[in-house]
Structure formats: structure tokens, C-alpha cells
Amino acid sequence: MKPERQIRATIVDVAREAGLSIGTVSNYLNGQTVRRSNRYKIETAIAALSFSRNQIAVSMKTTKSRLVGMLVPSLSEFHGAIVEKISAELQDQKRALLTYCHNKDPAVMAYALNFFQEQRVCAIIVAGHSGLEGRLLDFSKYGIPIIGLTNDSPDVPMYRVLTDSTDAARKAVGYLSGLGHREISVITGDLNEATARERFGGYRQGMEEWGLPLDDRLVIPGHYQSSRAYTALKRSFSTGRKPSAILSCSGSMTFGALRFFRDAGMQVPGDISLISFDDSSAFQLRDAPITVLAQPTEDLARTVGSVVSRCADSEDQIHPSIEVKSYEFVKRESCLASRTSSKT
């Protein structure tokens, strides 16, 4: 019989034996280039521990913990709230949440997944996971349930808890059109991500549906960052093209837009109407509180908790499912009827 250490050897054991980082060992196991000296150390450690890659899968299938791993792109107001609510849902199930903020850094994502493997999590929740599909596909083969939150990855067999960003953006454009606005700009997120594409797609659908002019000059790339939204707006407005209304596709970009309007001496909604995806307590403190498309955080958290409860301890084959939630259109005071059409 082999010693217990050989049976239970993990990436952590290999890294410790080789005197290298988990990331370096992970790169080697995933076929990436590592230094020749490091490759020799890793291979020596693997031989000494009788380690094989499928040991991770075996250990995870047979000794799952009560831990749930969660990857989020940032601890924004939305993600902070959803982490808190999901944690409360899992606490009722006698489970605990391990959270990593990846900031869209592939190295952090990879490290977090390795860490989740070593902790033998019973499920993984992922948000903002663009570029991680390959790793998630590998992970799904271990039989550990993956739950995609508000971002879709059709090629990965996982449970999906999504929000209908396309319909929300379309309705926002329709609302602005009903107020007489014809030139409506959109501040887009990172269009490499599914949610950003859906929101932009909904904007385009709304513009077409209401017979409004589609113009690339009305598309302002904000990449989910306040500073980039500010810079892109400044560049766009310097051309003389000034829309009468703007749909911002994230709260962080809305803050960038508000800073720009302040510096440019513009008033919301006196000079320009504004709708934002995602709500913030700060939006409600303005003289003219911001109209928002708010994510249903309570409903999302309950649904994620239900999915974890249903599938985490199951030995049955994973059958991916999709649940789609609607945004709440919260109409406040940041939109007024258009006085005149903007000049091109």
C-alpha cells in the first residue's frame, strides 16, 4: 500500500517539495513554458510524491468540504453587496464562502482556482470571468459545480444565474426616446465580456426599434473604469458632438461621467439626461438622484444559494441550467424631456 502522502499529494505538496510557487507548478501542469531548472525540480518532486494530475480530481470528488469558492472582478458596491448576501445564504446551509477579487488578472484567477482546488470546495461561483473559460472547462471535468453569476460562458458546462442586460438597455433607450431624445450616447464596458456586449446590444436594439440614429460617434468606450469613461467623454465632446442623453453601462463609469459633467460645467439633468446600470447609495444623495437599472441582488443571492444547496453535495452528473432575472428600472430625477435635438 502506498503511503497516505503519496495518495493525497496535491499541487501544494509538489510546489513545497520543489521549492517553487504554486503558479509555476500550475504553469508546468498546464503545458506552459517554465525554466529548464524549474522543470527539473517539478518533475523530480512529482516522481518523489508519485503525483498525477488526476489526483486533484479524485480528491475533490471524494473529500469535498463545506467551502464555496467565489471569484469576483472587484469589490464594487454591487459585488460587495452580492458577496454579503450570498455569504448569508450559505451560512444558513452551514457553508462558508471563500472570496477572491481577481481584478481581471489571469494570474490571480489561476491562483484562486488552484487554491479552491486545494481547499476541496464543494462549488465555485464566478463573476466577470472573461478569458477564464479554458480553466473553467478543465475544472468542470472534476465534477465540481460551477455557477456563472451575471456573465455567460456557453462553452462551459455550468449553472448560470444571469440578468437580462439586453432587455434592460433596450427599455432604457425606449424611456429616453419617449422623453424626446434622439441622439443618445452609450458608455460601454469591456466588449470582450458577455455582459458588456449584451448591454451594448440592447442599446443598439433600442435605437433601431425607436428609429433613432446609430452612429459610432455616440459610442463611448469606458472599459468599466471611471477614469477611462472620463477621458473618453472628454474626447468625444471635444469633437462638438453632444448628445442630449447618455446610457452608462456601469456604476463606476457613471462616476467618471459625473466628474466630467462637473468639470465641463454641465448639469444633470438640465444639460444632459443620464441613466446608469447598477445602483449606488451615492446616486441617491445627489440633488437630482440618478435613474438606474438596478440588479436584483436579493433575488440573485437567493437563487445562487438554492443552486449550491441543490448541486454541491450531489453525486449526479451536472446538468447545466439557466435562470434569468430582470433588472429593476428605478426612475428618479436624472432625466428630463429633450428641449431640442443635438446638432451634428
Q: What is the pLDDT averaged over residues 336-343?
A: 70
| Helices (H), ranges, 73-186 | 77-91, 106-118, 133-140, 165-178
> If pLDDT is split at 50, 70 and 90, which confidence band does 63 have?
low
Q: What is the dihedral of CA 26, 31, 35, 38, to 10 degrees?
A: 50
**Predicted local distance difference test score (pLDDT) of residue 221:** 98
Q: What is the pLDDT averaged over residues 120-138?
A: 79
Sequence-distant (6+) residues with CB within 8 A of 188 are 196, 199, 200, 219, 220, 221, 222, 223, 249
Higher pLDDT, 336 or 314: 336
Element (H, E) at 45: helix 36-49
**Predicted local distance difference test score (pLDDT) of residue 254:** 98
CA angle (311, 312, 317) in 5-degree steps: 55
Q: Alpha-carbon distance 322 to 320, whole Å?
A: 7
pLDDT value at 4 more than 50: no
Q: In Å, how far from its chain's centre is CA 66?
A: 24
**Predicted local distance difference test score (pLDDT) of residue 307:** 93
pLDDT value at 59 more than 60: no
Sequence-distant (6+) residues with CB within 8 A of 85 are 297, 298, 300, 301
Sequence-distant (6+) residues with CB within 8 A of 185 are 218, 219, 220, 236, 243, 245, 246, 247
Q: Which domains does the chain have, with CATH numbers?
A: 11-60 (1.10.260.40), 67-163+296-326 (3.40.50.2300), 165-295 (3.40.50.2300)
230: burial class by Cβ within 10 Å (0-12, 13-18, 19+)?
A: buried
Residue-wise pLDDT tens digits, 236-269: 999 888 999 999 999 999 999 999 999 999 999 9
Can you tell me which residue has the cell 503511503? 3
Rounded to whole angstroms, what are the CA distances from 226 to 258, 269, 271, 335? 9, 20, 21, 21
Say what percent of the chain tops pLDDT 70: 88
Query: What are the backbone dihedrals phi and psi of residue 160, each rounded to the nearest 5 degrees, phi first?
Result: -125, 130
Q: What is the pTM of this model?
A: 0.77
Q: Alpha-carbon distance 204 to 211, whole Å?
A: 11
Contact 317, 175 (CB under 8 A): no
| Helices (H), ranges, 151-250 | 165-178, 194-209, 226-238
Contact 164, 327 (CB under 8 A): yes
**Predicted local distance difference test score (pLDDT) of residue 130:** 66
> If pLDDT is split at 50, 70 and 90, which confidence band does 6 have?
very low
Higher pLDDT, 55 or 84: 84
Higher pLDDT, 24 or 309: 309
Q: Alpha-carbon distance 341 to 338, whole Å?
A: 7
Higher pLDDT, 317 or 95: 95
* Residue 218 DSSP one-character state: G
Contact 254, 185 (CB under 8 A): no
Can you tell me which residue has the cell 501544494? 12
**Predicted local distance difference test score (pLDDT) of residue 311:** 83
Q: Which amino acid is at 62?
A: T
**Predicted local distance difference test score (pLDDT) of residue 129:** 65
pLDDT value at 200 more than 70: yes
Query: What are the backbone dihedrals phi and psi of residue 134, each rounded to the nearest 5 degrees, phi first?
Result: -60, -45
How does DSSP assign 238-296, residue by residue? HTT---SEEEESSHHHHHHHHHHHHHTT--TTTT-EEEEES--GGGGGSSSPPEEEE--
**Predicted local distance difference test score (pLDDT) of residue 48:** 83
Higher pLDDT, 166 or 54: 166
The Cβ-side half-sphere exposure at 61, using a 13 Å CA radius, reads: 14
